[in-house]
A and B are shown apart, each in its own frame.
Chain A
Amino acid sequence: DGGITQSPKYLFRKEGQNVTLSCEQNLNHDAMYWYRQDPGQGLRLIYYSQIVNDFQKGDIAEGYSVSREKKESFPLTVTSAQKNPTAFYLCASRATSGSFYEQFFGPGTRLTVL
């Protein structure tokens, strides 16, 4: 089955720790995205990557970092500089050939800071 996997499903972090959220896709999509969702809120873009070895900041990149060393993987690190990291994190991917392709979402990781 093709799709997007995120792990872990739930993650607990102590204050001051860096944590890395995994996102893997086997859809052969070039573009990948990280969003953050707070309770009762829409999605806010953290980082996105249109191609391997290249990525751009979204609207709320401060306190986060990413890498895109492989087409199928786009891990997100939540650093200690992110002051309020408790949220639902969603990874998405999208094909870039052709005129339009939707963004497909993974199942999400729920991060809680203890």
Chain B
Amino acid sequence: QKEVEQNSGPLSVPEGAIASLNCTYSDRGSQSFFWYRQYSGKSPELIMFIYSNGDKEDGRFTAQLNKASQYVSLLIRDSQPSDSATYLCAVNKGRETSGSRLTFGEGTQLTVNP
């Protein structure tokens, strides 16, 4: 079992729709969770992080965490063509919350069609 698994892509949504990206993790003791966006040929950039169960909203992005189910998701509302990228889920190893050592999923490629 992989430590961090993401829903297989690619994912294609029309402009203006909601894109839903999912991630599960195997270490029940993990405390902090991150979503990075990576454009083709570029380095990742952090877009959201979440520690607590529930939802966390930032503009058009909402991260959802359910530690009992070991599940974290990212919703992108009103998707734009500029959101087309690979989204990487990352989980901090162990019980640290500081983001000191991350395990990444393989990523989900999102395409938003005009």
Which residues of chain B are within 8 angstroms of A106 by Cβ–Cβ distance? 43
Give the distance in Å from the alpha carbon of A5 to the alpha carbon of B88 in the complex. 22
Which residues of chain B are within 8 angstroms of A35 by Cβ–Cβ distance? 104
- Is there contact, CB below 8 Å, between B99 and A102? yes
Give the distance in Å from the alpha carbon of A19 to the alpha carbon of B4 in the complex. 31
**Which A residues from 42 to 79 make CB contacts under 8 A with B?**
42-45, 48, 50, 58-59
Q: Does A18 contact B (CB under 8 A)?
A: no
Tell me the number of A-to-B contacts counted with CB atoms below 8 Å. 55
Which residues of chain A are within 8 angstroms of B101 by Cβ–Cβ distance? 45, 48, 58
Nearest chain A CB to B26's CB is how many angstroms away? 14
Which residues of chain A are within 8 angstroms of B17 by Cβ–Cβ distance? none
Q: Does B60 contact A (CB under 8 A)?
A: no
Give the distance in Å from the alpha carbon of A42 to the alpha carbon of B104 in the complex. 6
* Given A42-B106, A44-B104, A100:B98 Cβ within 8 A: yes
CB nearest neighbor in A for B2: A42
Question: Which residues of B pack against A, CB within 8 Å?
Answer: 4, 32, 34, 42-46, 49, 88, 90, 97-107
Question: Which residues of A pack against B, CB within 8 Å?
Answer: 31, 35, 40-45, 48, 50, 58-59, 90, 94, 96, 99-103, 105-108
